Amino acid sequence: EDQVTQSPEALRLQEGESSSLNCSYTVSGLRGLFWYRQDPGKGPEFLFTLYSAGEEKEKERLKATLTKKESFLHITAPKPEDSATYLCAVQPGSGQNFVFGPGTRLSVLP
Amino acid sequence: DSGVTQTPKHLITATGQRVTLRCSPRSGDLSVYWYQQSLDQGLQFLIQYYNGEERAKGNILERFSAQQFPDLHSELNLSSLELGDSALYFCASSRGDGSGNTIYFGEGSWLTVV
């Protein structure tokens, strides 16, 4: 069964304190791994797509990396506006369905 | 703004009733997906349509149904509503049939069943 887990479940950082979020997956083949940011009561906002191990993508203070078993979302010098839930999703090679992880709830304190 | 439009934004209805949620995908996108997100629950995939045809089915209850129309907008019909159906319902869309495509989400429809 295709599965996605994320850790930690929740993370509190001080402004400027860099850290990483983890997404571990077990899928039969991988068509893509996706990172989204979700604010409370809002729709998930697309951040990155990664397709193969070794790939990296960057956007402002965020950097996503991918290995064969997991992906990391690195947050460098976070600001309070980075507070949100970060969701990881994978698209297995067997079909079109996206499998979402439970998310990491990030709080950045000023 | 993702370009995916959902209506209504909020809906309060009674148990046993039926509601319809509407979604307009991004311009040029052929696939529409429906997801459910309950309090403290992750995103649960319900169903996908591609160019008017059902493409994939997830954990969608028999009381729920969906369709995609020729203009590519989609509707999710929820009937015989129960308290447990209260949730955020998201529509998402992608350019192709979903294979390797990024999916973009709307802002969701809040459904409260009382």
Residue A80 to residue B59: CA distance in whole angstroms: 36
The contacts of residue B71 (CB under 8 Å, 6+ apart) are none
Angle at B18 between CA B20 and CA B93, to 5 degrees: 25
| Whole-number pLDDT of residue B101 | 84
Q: Which residues in chain A have Cβ-Cβ distances shorter than 8 Å to B105?
A: 36, 43-46
pLDDT per residue as tens digits for the range A6-56: 999 999 999 999 999 999 999 888 889 999 999 998 999 999 999 999 999
Tokens representing B21 are 């949620």
Residue B97's pLDDT band (cuts 50, 70, 90): confident
Residue of A94 and A43 predicted with greater confidence? A43
Contacts of B107 in chain A (CB under 8 A): 42-43
The dihedrals phi and psi of B61, each to the nearest 5 degrees, come to -70, 155
Tokens of A94: 């067997």
Residue with tokens 């992608």: B94
Give the mean pLDDT of chain A.
Answer: 94
**Across the interface, which of B42, B56, B90 has its CB nearest the CB of A97?**
B56
DSSP label of A93: T
B60 touches A: beta carbon within 8 Å: no
Q: Chain A interface, mutation test: which of B10, B21, B40, B43, most A Cβ atoms within 10 Å?
A: B43
pLDDT at A54: 95
Chain B nearest C-alpha distance from A14 (Å): 25
63-92 of A, contacting B, C-beta below 8 A: 87, 89, 91
Interface of B with A in 35-54 (CB under 8 A): 42-43, 45, 48
Peptide bond into A44 cis (omega under 30): no
CA A3 to chain centre: 14
Collect all residues of chain B within an 8 Å Cβ-Cβ radius of residue A97: 45, 48, 56, 58, 98
Instruction: Quote the percentage of chain A above a pLDDT of 70.
Output: 97
Sign of CA dihedral B1, B6, B10, B15: negative
B17-26, B35-44, B94-103: least confidently modelled range: B94-103
Is residue B1 predicted with pLDDT exceeding 70? yes
Question: Is residue B20 classed exposed, middle or buried when 0-12, 13-18 and 19+ CB atoms within 10 A define those classes?
Answer: middle
pLDDT value at residue A1: 81
Q: B interface mutation test: which of A5, A49, A55, A96 has the most B CBs within 10 A?
A: A96
Q: Give residue A95's pLDDT.
A: 64
Mean pLDDT of chain B: 94
